[in-house]
Structure 1
Amino acid sequence: MLPSYFTVKKEGFDEIIIQKSRFIGYVKRVETEEEAQAFIQEIKKKHHDATHNCSAYVIGKNDQIQKANDDGEPSGTAGVPILEVIKKQNLKNTAVVVTRYFGGIKLGAGGLIRAYSRTAAQAIKTTGIVKRQRMQGFSVTVEYTLLGKLENALRNSEHILEHINYQDKVELIVYVKEGHEESFLKWITEHSNAQANIKETNKKFIEIDVESTKE
């Protein structure tokens, strides 16, 4: 299992008008090829009257499943450009469908490639990208007198403070990157003056928002 990877947020879309043609980009996170195909069929049904519903997706830890479909556009002018946008942004488990309503002006091969690439990139940017980081959870329990100092230190660190439980003492639920557990234990001991009760909890993927800048 990968320690971290980039993917899109759950689902989103955006729309662009290019030379009177309407291009609508739909984006969804998918875990399997069946999910990707179901998403494509859902958009095709939604836009059954569209000129084209072109698509691409990348699935798997090693991007082992990659598919592109031009849906009637000239070969290589729609599906592959969409796929290249997904790959350029290093996204995993991502499906994109770009719906086109023809506006009467032909774009030519180069124009189509640019239009489908631009729409896919814009839809991904609007949807948003996250980094999914596999992290180790810790329960850190301290006296209330240490809460302010410890909370501030955690929020200004690379560690993720997920939740605070206010009980007889205060419990902070913290997630730490895999491989950084030992350094975290030293860090928390130092910042709590060795007065923290620390227990390992579960491991899980934490999603961190990132800025999408590639188009």
Structure 2
Amino acid sequence: MQDELFPESWQRPVQQLSPGITLLPGLALEEEKQIWQDVQAVLQQAALRQMQTPGGRTMSVSMSNCGALGWVSGHGGYRYSPTDPDSGLAWPAMPPRLAMLASQWAAAAGFNGFDSNACLINCYVPGCRMSLHQDRDERDFSQPIVTLSLGLPARFMLGGIQRNDACQIIPLIHGDVLVFGGPARLCFHGIMPLTAGAHPLLGSRRISLTFRRA
């Protein structure tokens, strides 16, 4: 069962899914433990929490941030903030290793010079999902989005520029990096409900790190 959930990364080549969208399978595996240690250190300073949508609904996914800016949601809308609304303090600094890796991963997908100043940390447990949406709260759409998947496998929904465009389903497993930018920067995307399981490092959850230039 473990082999079915987590196939060997070297059996899956780099995939150019469409112009501007690249899947880099298993690219983070060599540093998975150090990355997870960095994430845990951030979460000790800014705990995961379920934010509210502008309409007052509670999101199923738990979130936190690190970097100069953090993505937040609430009655005031979706936005970036330099401070954690729960504590009033600045978000934890982005660990240098994570910032360096995000830049390297972006370059591997053809986006050189990516300098992330915001990392959104999402935590999914079985049953959690993320509905189709665009990442459009950033100021500079010339910069890509870089997402690292850790823990349980996910089914990533990738649509087009219009909400009703057809979606393709992309399996993402522990250590995979997905980069999208250029003509795909504003593609709708989301995560299907997470299936139950257990990962040897993270247990019964999936953590995604989404690096952005806010």
Q: TM-score, length-normalised on structure 2?
A: 0.27
Structure with the higher fraction of residues in helix conformation = 1
Q: Which has the larger radius of gyration?
A: 1
Structure with the higher fraction of residues in strand conformation = 1
